[in-house]
Amino acid sequence: MNAASETIIADIRQFNRFYTRTIGVLGNNLLGGDYSLTEVRVLYEIANNESVMAADLVRALGMDFGYVSRILAQFEKRGWLKRERSEDDGRKSHLLLTAKGRKAFASVNQQARDEVAKLLEPLPWHQQLQLQAHLRQVQSLLSPQPATPAVRLRTHRAGDMGWIIQRHGALYEKEYGFNSEFEALVAEICAKFLREYDPATERCWIAELGDTPVGTIMLVRGADGIAKLRLLLVEDSARGHGVGRMLVQECVSFARQAGYKGMTLWTQSTLLAARKLYVAAGFKLEKSEPHHSFGQSLVGETWGLQFDA
């Protein structure tokens, strides 16, 4: 195993120790209550799954069957659990919470929710969104992945513009050294889109891998029947899955259906991956001009695509 791998392992172990301390689950009991973390996990699975059986808990939680059986026996003793014999197999029983069990779960669940809210409280909203995105990415990376992850496109919904602004600011600073002027520009574009949005002629799409947003693109009205392609972004973790190609194709297809005569976009000569996508979609370079923006000396490019009459 190489030195880089050892460093990664050490950092993950350090994070585990940090997070365990942060959420206060070093002891045997959760949230200072009378329930162990394992008991709460079992309780959560029963409360949030219909017709769950003991074997389902063993598979979902990766626990020993005997251990699960002892926990279920404790739940029954406390009056939290009832069993209903399966109509398909009389040897098996569905596990259901009683009213007392649901009350116990609601109490522990609320405590857990309040602890997380308390943890987030010192962070400004944009940092909370950043943390959410990183946690989703960690879960996605460490979960078993299909050979070809399914990419899904959807239109924008409440909260997406905040994510678009934050990710543009972070990624372009990291990859191209753009300063806060660029993030301000993205914020202005998003605000204008929301204020003037016309669903018949404009769209914003979010690309998702599973439930994680990994890309975006926007189409807005321009002058003289020409649409503007704006704010194409693909997370580095999702590159290689065809996300950018799908976003550009969807944007072009919608522009045609909406009756535009063509499309235009403004980009920078340094954005090589994006330029390849535009060329593949049929865009042609119409104009280039040096400028100093976003803390960098750049060459701005205008690209156009004309639709057949």
Tell me the CATH number at 151.
3.40.630.30
DSSP state of 124: -
Res 59: pLDDT = 83
- Cβ burial, residue 169 (10 Å; 0-12/13-18/19+): buried
Count other Cβ atoms within 10 Å, centred on residue 109. 15
Res 30: pLDDT = 52
Residue at 130 is within a domain = no
Rg (alpha carbons) of the chain, rounded to whole number? 26
Residues 196 and 104 in one domain: no
- Cβ burial, residue 268 (10 Å; 0-12/13-18/19+): buried
Res 2: pLDDT = 57
Residues 174 and 302 in one domain: yes
Residue at 136 is within a domain = no
Residue at 215 is within a domain = yes
Last residue of a domain, one of 70, 94, 122: 122
**Rounded Cα gap, residues 193 and 252, in angstroms:** 18
Res 260: pLDDT = 96
Q: Average pLDDT for consecutive 10-residue bins of the chain (309 residues)?
A: 72 82 54 68 84 82 84 89 76 84 86 83 89 86 67 93 96 95 97 95 93 94 95 90 92 95 96 94 96 96 91
Helix axes 37-47, 99-120, angle to 10 degrees: 110
Picking from 231, 227, 164, 223, the residue whose alpha carbon sits closest to that of residue 201 is: 227
Split into its structural domains, the chain has a count of: 2
First-to-last C-alpha distance (Å) of the chain: 61
Q: What CATH number is given to the structural domain containing 107?
A: 1.10.10.10
Exposure string (b/e) for 219-229, b if CB count within 10 Å is 16 or more? bbebeeebbbb
